[in-house]
Amino acid sequence: MIASRMRHPAYLLFFTIGLLLLSIVFGISMGAVRIPFATTFAWLFGIDNGLSDSQRAILFELRMPRVLTAIIVGSSLAAAGVGFQGLFRNVLAEPYIIGASSGAALGVAIVIVLNLNATLLGISAPAIAALLGSMGVVALVFLVGALGRGSSQLSLLLSGVAISALANAAVSLLLFLNNQKAMVIVSWLMGSISSATWSSTAISGAVGGLGVAILWSRSRALDAYMLGDTASTSLGLDLIRFRLWMIVGGSLATAAAVSSAGIVGFVGLVAPQIARMLVGPKHSYLIPMSVCCGGIVMLLADVLARSLHDNLELPVGVLTALLGGPFFFGLLITRRGSRALS
Partner 1 sequence: MSHLNIEHLTFSYPNREVLQDVSLEFRPGELIVLLGANGSGKTSLLKCIAKQLKPAQGKVFLDSRDLHVLDRLTLAKHVALMPQFEQRDAPMLVQDVVALGRSPHVGWLVPLGASDWSIIENAMRITGTWELRDRNVQELSGGEWRRMILARSIAQDASVLLLDEPTAGLDLRYQYECLERVRTIVKDKNLIGVVTMHDLNQAALFSDRIALLAHHQVLGFGTASEILKESMIECAFGVKVSVLKHPTRDIPLIVPIAAKQ
CB nearer to partner 1: pick between 70 and 156: 156
CB nearer to partner 1: pick between 3 and 32: 3
Which window, 187-195, 279-287, 303-311, 327-335, contacts partner 1 (CB under 8 A)? 279-287
Q: Is 2 near partner 1 (CB under 8 A)?
A: yes
Q: Is 313 near partner 1 (CB under 8 A)?
A: no
- Phi first, then psi: give them for residue 120, nearest 5 degrees: -130, 115
* Cβ atoms 13, 279 nearer than 8 A: yes
Burial code of 69-91, b = ≥16 C-beta within 10 A, e = fewer?
Answer: bbbbbbbbbbbbbbbbbbbbbbb
CB nearer to partner 1: pick between 56 and 220: 220
CB nearer to partner 1: pick between 10 and 322: 10
* Cβ atoms 231, 238 nearer than 8 A: no
Give least dist CB 186 to partner 1, A.
39
Q: Is 321 near partner 1 (CB under 8 A)?
A: no
* Cβ atoms 171, 164 nearer than 8 A: no
What are the distances in angstroms from CA 209 to CA 41, 201, 235, 252, 330? 25, 11, 29, 9, 31
Give least dist CB 331 to partner 1, A.
15
Q: Is 337 near partner 1 (CB under 8 A)?
A: no
Burial code of 28-58, b = ≥16 C-beta within 10 A, e = fewer?
Answer: bbbbeeebeeebbebbeeeeeeebeeeeeeb
Q: Is 146 near partner 1 (CB under 8 A)?
A: no
Q: Return the amino acid letter for 285.
A: Y
Figure out which of the listed residues 122, 165, 238, 326 binds partner 1, where binding follows CB under 8 A. 238
Task: Using CB under 8 A, count the residues that bind partner 1.
Answer: 26
Q: Is 221 near partner 1 (CB under 8 A)?
A: yes
* Cβ atoms 102, 171 nearer than 8 A: yes
* Cβ atoms 27, 72 nearer than 8 A: no
Figure out which of the listed residues 20, 79, 106, 237 binds partner 1, where binding follows CB under 8 A. 237
Residues in the chain: 342
Figure out which of the listed residues 13, 69, 81, 89 binds partner 1, where binding follows CB under 8 A. 89
CB nearer to partner 1: pick between 281 and 330: 281
Rounded Cα–Cα distance for residues 218 and 246 (Å)? 8
Mask of contacts with partner 1, 39-78, x by CB under 8 A? ----------------------------------------
Rounded Cα–Cα distance for residues 322 and 226 (Å)? 31
Give least dist CB 55 to partner 1, A.
45
Q: Is 233 near partner 1 (CB under 8 A)?
A: yes
Figure out which of the listed residues 117, 179, 180, 230 binds partner 1, where binding follows CB under 8 A. 230
Which window, 49-57, 93-101, 106-114, 232-240, contacts partner 1 (CB under 8 A)? 232-240
CB nearer to partner 1: pick between 43 and 142: 142
The DSSP secondary-structure symbol of 310 reads S
CB nearer to partner 1: pick between 146 and 226: 226
Q: Is 258 near partner 1 (CB under 8 A)?
A: no
Q: Is 280 near partner 1 (CB under 8 A)?
A: yes
Rounded Cα–Cα distance for residues 137 and 141 (Å)? 6
Q: How many helices (H) and strands (E) does the chain have?
A: 17, 2
Q: Which residues of the chain form contacts with partner 1 (CB under 8 A)?
A: 1-3, 5, 89, 217-218, 220-221, 223-224, 226-228, 230-231, 233-238, 280-282, 339
